[in-house]
Amino acid sequence: MLEIKDLKASINKKAILKGLNLTIKPGELHAIMGPNGSGKSTLANILSGKEGYEISGELNFNGESIKEISVEKRAQKGIFLAFQYPLEIPGVNTNNFLKTSLNSVRKARGEKELDTLSFLKLIKKTSYELGIDEGILSRQLNVGFSGGEKKKNEILQMKILNPKLSILDETDSGLDIDAIKIVAKGVNTLRNDKKSFLIITHYQRLLDYIKPDFVHVLSHGKIVKTGCSELAQELEKTGYKKIN
């Protein structure tokens, strides 16, 4: 699914990722933990195609190099990033945005675009399943949403777009227990042997609900340790100091 080899990235001459290797196979769920500023969001952004980084190394998605592929093409190929800080877009209705988004992805996949009615049906069903208040969907995209509502909206978008690779950048940060369960439910109901996940988190708590196949520690732009789910529990107790 995803193959990252010796990825180095810098911004304004500042090196952030310093030779990162990571392979995620279909059906696998990987968690990435690591201290603040270690480069986790940078990795997520680069995978989604954000511009502005100087990059070297290999970046393959389903056997194809995606280094030169634009953000929207990557989304259309099935890469989804739930933002650490979702943006507020004034004047853009959430429902309309989700519909436009879904239809551009569907179009790229060669599927029929959804009309308003079928879209509304889908969104109603999905938000009900996840326990997300439909009220937010008729509002402007993320404008005035609480921190938790923004994160839930990201999970809703993930569910609707049905991506092959979902990257969650600290989606659980700042959430109450019920909201964390919603995030977990979003992931677990998508999870199957074809889909992959990369979950960036600071807390073991989310991993109680989503069992990862691998846990990596990212520090100073490199993966310095890889283990199974027990590693997360260990880190919760000891912190990152021992690893470095």
Partner 1 sequence: MNQNFQINSKQIDKIQKITEEEKNFRIKNLEIFKEEGFPSKKLEDWKFSDFKRIVDNNFDELDTKTVVSHFDKVDLLKDFEHNYIFLVNGNLHSSNFDFEDKNKIKINSYDKSINYEINKNPLVCLNQAFAENGYSLEIDKNYKFNKVLVIYNIFTNDIKNKILNNKNKIRVNENSELHTIEYTINESKFKFINNVLENIILEKNSKLKNLNIQRKKNEGIFHKYLKNNLSLNSNYTNLIFSSGTKFNKLDIECNLIDQNINCNILSALFLGNNEHNEIKTCINHLAPNCKSYQQVKNVLNSNGKGIFQGKIYVKDLAQKTDAYQLGKALLLDDNAEFNSKPELEIYADDVKCSHGSSSGSIDEDSIYYMMSRGLSREQSKKLLIKGFLSDIVEHIKSPSIKKFVENKLEEQISEN
Ligand X SMILES: Nc1ncnc2c1ncn2[C@@H]1O[C@H](COP(=O)(O)OP(=O)(O)OP(=O)(O)O)[C@@H](O)[C@H]1O
Part in contact with ligand X (CB under 6 A); list of ranges 29-37, 128-136, 149-157, 236-244: 29-37
Residue 171 within binding range of ligand X, rule CB under 6 A: no
| Strand blocks (E) in the chain | 2-11, 14-24, 29-33, 54-61, 64-65, 79-82, 165-169, 196-200, 214-219, 222-227
Residue 186 within binding range of partner 1, rule CB under 8 A: no
Residue 86 within binding range of partner 1, rule CB under 8 A: yes
Q: Are 17 and 9 in contact (CB under 8 A)?
A: yes
User: Which of partner 1, ligand X, Mg ion, none sits in contact with 36, Cβ below 5 to 8 A by type?
Assistant: ligand X
Which listed residue (7, 20, 30, 42) binds ligand X by CB under 6 A?
42
Furthest-apart CA atoms within the chain: distance in Å: 55
Site string (40-59) toward Mg ion, x via CB under 5 A: xx------------------
Query: Which residues does 134 contact at the CB level (< 8 Å), separation at least 6?
Result: 123, 124, 127, 128
Query: Could you give the CA distance from residue 213 to residue 120 in angstroms, rounded to a whole number?
Result: 35
Strands 14-24 and 29-33: unpaired
Site string (20-59) toward partner 1, x via CB under 8 A: ----------------------------xxxx--------
If the CB atoms of residues 50 and 106 are measured against ligand X, the closer one turns out to be: 50
Site string (66-105) toward ligand X, x via CB under 6 A: ------------------x---------------------
Which listed residue (41, 126, 127, 157) binds ligand X by CB under 6 A?
41
Q: Which class for 102: exposed (0-12), middle (13-18), buried (19 or more C-beta within 10 A)?
A: buried
Query: Could you give the CA distance from residue 100 to residue 174 in angstroms, rounded to a whole number?
Result: 29
Query: Could you give the CA distance from residue 97 to residue 173 in angstroms, rounded to a whole number?
Result: 25
| Residue where the block lists tokens 């810098």 | 10
Helices 177-190 and 116-130, packing angle to 10 deg: 120
Part in contact with ligand X (CB under 6 A); list of ranges 32-40, 92-100, 143-151, 159-167: 32-40
Residue 171 within binding range of partner 1, rule CB under 8 A: no
Question: Which three-class secondary structure state does DSSP give residue 120?
Answer: helix
Residue 16 within binding range of ligand X, rule CB under 6 A: yes
Which listed residue (12, 91, 192, 237) binds ligand X by CB under 6 A?
12
Q: Give the interface size with partner 1 as a residue count (CB under 8 A).
A: 29
Q: Which parts of this chain interact with partner 1 (CB under 8 A)?
A: 48-51, 70-72, 74-76, 80-81, 83, 86-87, 89-92, 97, 100-102, 104-105, 108, 140, 157, 161
